[in-house]
Amino acid sequence: MSAVKNVIKDNYNMMLLKDYLREKIKDAGFENVEVSKTPTGTRVVLHVTRPGIVIGRKGTGIKELTEKLESDYGLKNPQIAVEEITKPELSPEVMCNRMASHLERGTAFRRATMWTIQQIMEGGAMGTEITISGKLRGDRSAFEKHSQGILPRAGHHADVIVAEDIAHVETPMGLIGVRIRIARKERFVPEFELRGKTQAEKDEEARIKKEADDLAAKTESELIELEEKKIEQIDSMEEDEEMMK
């Protein structure tokens, strides 16, 4: 097999692995997985918001996951390590999964979008953009794009500062795609600096808010349920649009 085919095969297997982990450890707030070969086997690093859920009681979760990766995905002697994400609101993967969960539960897409943008900006992002597409209202496909803050769109700055992810949601209306792009302040260049509160002050506010949410919710599913009540209070103007038709 040529080197090109090997690369394609490895990338395809990695895609399948990420799709499996995104669903398997959904309640743990899965962000990303890093796989690297070592002299003794394969090192697998999982980045999640709630490591305890992945590990399980007395390591049962890790053991089950290790067996699955070895039998179904061909990883030789996988050694799994779990790392906690300190700022989940700045992770497009985590926020895509959370927004997808809201849409699956029947939350209006515009309310879910506005809530997600609010959470990302309060988490300390420099800017964000959410694109949602599919059969949002009727039989015809459409898309909407919402953004806030500063978001470089091209060039070196965009490559360094902006991270993005895409999620797909199955709804009774059809398949809906969600794309979230987040500009992270910790990687900004001086010309993009925003005035107002210092980054340290905003980080402290985000930390206090995250700790309060973590105490109330033990899993991502419980967090989504708590957020549902807050999302209902958002004025997305969808009711006004329906009355004007």
Mean per-residue pLDDT for 144-154?
87
Q: Does the model's pTM come out above 0.85? A: no
Checking if the pLDDT of 114 tops 60, the result is yes
- 154-200 confidence digits (pLDDT tens): 777 778 888 899 998 888 888 899 999 999 877 655 555 555 555 55
**Any idea which of 12-21, 135-144, 159-168 has the lowest mean pLDDT?**
135-144
Alpha-carbon distances of 243 from 17, 97, 173, 190, 239, rounded to whole Å: 46, 32, 22, 46, 6
Using the predicted structure, report yes or no on whether residue 111 has a pLDDT greater than 80: yes
Using an 8 Å Cβ cutoff, are 180 and 103 in contact? no
pLDDT at res. 173: 81
Give the whole-number percent of the chain exceeding pLDDT 70. 82
Q: Give the pLDDT confidence score for residue 128 in this predicted structure.
A: 94
Q: How many residues does the chain have?
A: 245
d(CA 79, CA 81): 7
Least confident of 123-127, 149-153, 183-187, 208-212: 208-212
Average pLDDT over residues 20-33: 88
Q: How far apart are CA 92 and CA 139, in angstroms?
A: 29
Quick: pLDDT tens for 212-236: 555 466 788 878 888 887 777 776 6
Q: What is the pLDDT of residue 213?
A: 55
Give the type of residue at 170.
Answer: E
Q: What is the pLDDT of residue 15?
A: 87
How buried is 26 (Cβ within 10 angstroms: 0-12 exposed, 13-18 middle, 19+ buried)?
A: middle
Helices (H), the chain: 3-24, 51-55, 60-72, 92-104, 109-122, 155-161, 199-216, 220-231, 238-244
Question: What pLDDT was estimated at residue 95?
Answer: 93
Average pLDDT over residues 84-89: 89
CATH topology of domain 88-244: Ribosomal protein S3 C-terminal domain (3.30.1140)
Distance of alpha carbon 154 from alpha carbon 161, whole angstroms = 11
Query: Over 70: is that where the pLDDT of 204 sits?
Result: no
Average pLDDT over every residue of 123-140: 87
Residue 65 has pLDDT above 70, yes or no: yes
CATH pick for 3-84 out of 3.30.300.20, 3.40.640.10, 3.90.180.10, 3.40.50.920: 3.30.300.20
**Element spanning 182, H or E:** strand 174-184
- Per-residue burial over 113-138, b if 16 or more Cβ lie within 10 Å, else e, is bbbbbbbbbebbbbbbbbbbebebee
Is 240's pLDDT higher than 60?
no
Q: Which residue has the tokens 């900006």?
A: 121
Boundaries of every domain in the chain: 3-84, 88-244
